[in-house]
A and B are shown apart, each in its own frame.
Chain A
Amino acid sequence: MASDAELTPTSYIQHHLTNMTVSLGDSPFWVLHVDTLVMSLILGVLSLGFMWMVVRKATTGVPSKKQAFVEILIEFVDGQVKNSFHGNRHKFVAPAALTIFVWVLMLNTMDLLPIDIMAWIYTNIFGLHNWRSVPTTDVNTTFALALSIWLLTIYFGIQVKGMGGWIAELFCSPFGKNPLLWPLNLLFNLIEYISKPLSHSLRLFGNIYAGEIIFLLLGMWAATGVAGTVFGAVLGLGWAIFHILIVTLQAFIFMMLTVVYLSMAHESH
């Protein structure tokens, strides 16, 4: 960044918040954030691959330390799902929840990597400019997850209640079957269906994005000299420790909301 001609706080932050893009077409929609996609794929393959390697050699006897770790993870997720979902959870909901928790946790954790060092590594070792480490600070990731879940809730709603039952529920709940209440019910349900994916995705995005911004702001202390750098590093350490909590909590909340939305889709009001 030292080579940049005019290094202002705004340009510093903006530099770190720019995705690496590949254009696939003329419209602004046909753009791919390569960094988001590649980072999330690498992390997903690493974490799920690790679990797969462990699970393939799983024994019913005394488990190895790795197996015990994966078992704790799976039993934790399974316990959470068991409390809110009543049905055959092993078919879809519990494994999906595990995928979401592990993957989102890994994506969030990338936020703890020191931004400027990672930027230097990406630029000087891999030759990649504008490479962002944290896929969950890209709103596309969180919306992709939330919208997939949203589509699944509609799919399961129709599968469980039938098309007629699902549409009837749009008009008849939560206030009642009286035709006079139909518009109100529909309005209510529409608001619910719109707000669910929005809050689901923006909660995760907002928390992680804000965390990254604070790291960037603390990083700017380095511009004020040696004392400022040390001060910024101490604050950054404090924020990073606190951020471990946020990172885990947000992954957990995202998973729990997924489970709750999917269970609601399976149950009639």
Chain B
Amino acid sequence: MNINFTLVSQAIAFSVFIWFTIKFVWPHLLRAIEERQKQIADGLAAGERGKKELELASQRSLEVLKEAKQRASEIVIQAEKRAADIVEEAKANARVEGDKILAGAKAEIQHEVFGAREALRQQVASLAVQGATKILRREVNPKVHADLLSSIEAELK
């Protein structure tokens, strides 16, 4: 327990160590710690903001979805109406076209009938002439009755 010059030397060492800590150790790490604290606080705030934005976005998406559904149903109704219209129109067209075809067919049949009747008539005339010729060959001199025969033939035509 003897006080001596060691005390002074230790006090000097002590003050130098304190100076060293104040100058080199404390501020460096304090700055790092404070900066990190700020970063963490910023990160937390950003997270909070993101959460809020997500909430808003999901609300907005719900609204958009509702609107889209409504529009889709409207479009479907319109499309159904349009389809019905198209079917109606097609039916009408088909009916007109059918009538037209029917009329054409009828006309053609008429024409055929006329043709057939004409041909029939000629064949009947020639057959009649042939028959008459065969009958008359025996009794009628073709030379004598030529003008009569040709007039009959002309009439039959």
Contact = CB atoms under 8 A, between A and B. Distances in A.
Contacts of B3: 29, 139-140, 143
Contacts of A98: 21, 25-26
B10 A145 contact: yes
B30 A90 contact: yes
B1 to A, nearest CB: 5
Interface string B15-48: 1011011101111111111011001000000000
Nearest to B11: A144
Contacts of A103: 14, 17
A32 B21 contact: no
A164 interface: no
Nearest to B37: A60
Contact of A60 (B13, B27, B36): B36
B15 to A, nearest CB: 6
A133 interface: no
B21 A31 contact: no
Main secondary structure of the interface of A (DSSP, over half): helix
Contact of A58 (B1, B6, B22, B29): B29
A48 B21 contact: yes
A196 to B, nearest CB: 16
Interface in A81-95: 90-92, 94-95
B26 A44 contact: no
Contacts of A61: 36
B14 A92 contact: no
Contact of A99 (B4, B7, B18, B28): B18
B35 A141 contact: no
Interface in A114-171: 135, 138-141, 143-145, 147-148
Contacts of B30: 74, 78, 90
A48 to B, nearest CB: 6
18 contacts: A29-B3, A29-B4, A33-B4, A36-B10, A48-B20, A52-B25, A55-B29, A58-B28, A58-B32, A60-B35, A61-B36, A95-B18, A103-B14, A139-B1, A140-B10, A143-B3, A143-B7, A144-B11
Interface of B: 1-11, 13-15, 17-18, 20-22, 24-33, 35-36, 39
Interface of A: 24, 28-33, 36-37, 40-41, 44, 48, 51-52, 55-56, 58-61, 63, 67, 70-71, 74-75, 78, 90-92, 94-96, 98-99, 103, 135, 138-141, 143-145, 147-148
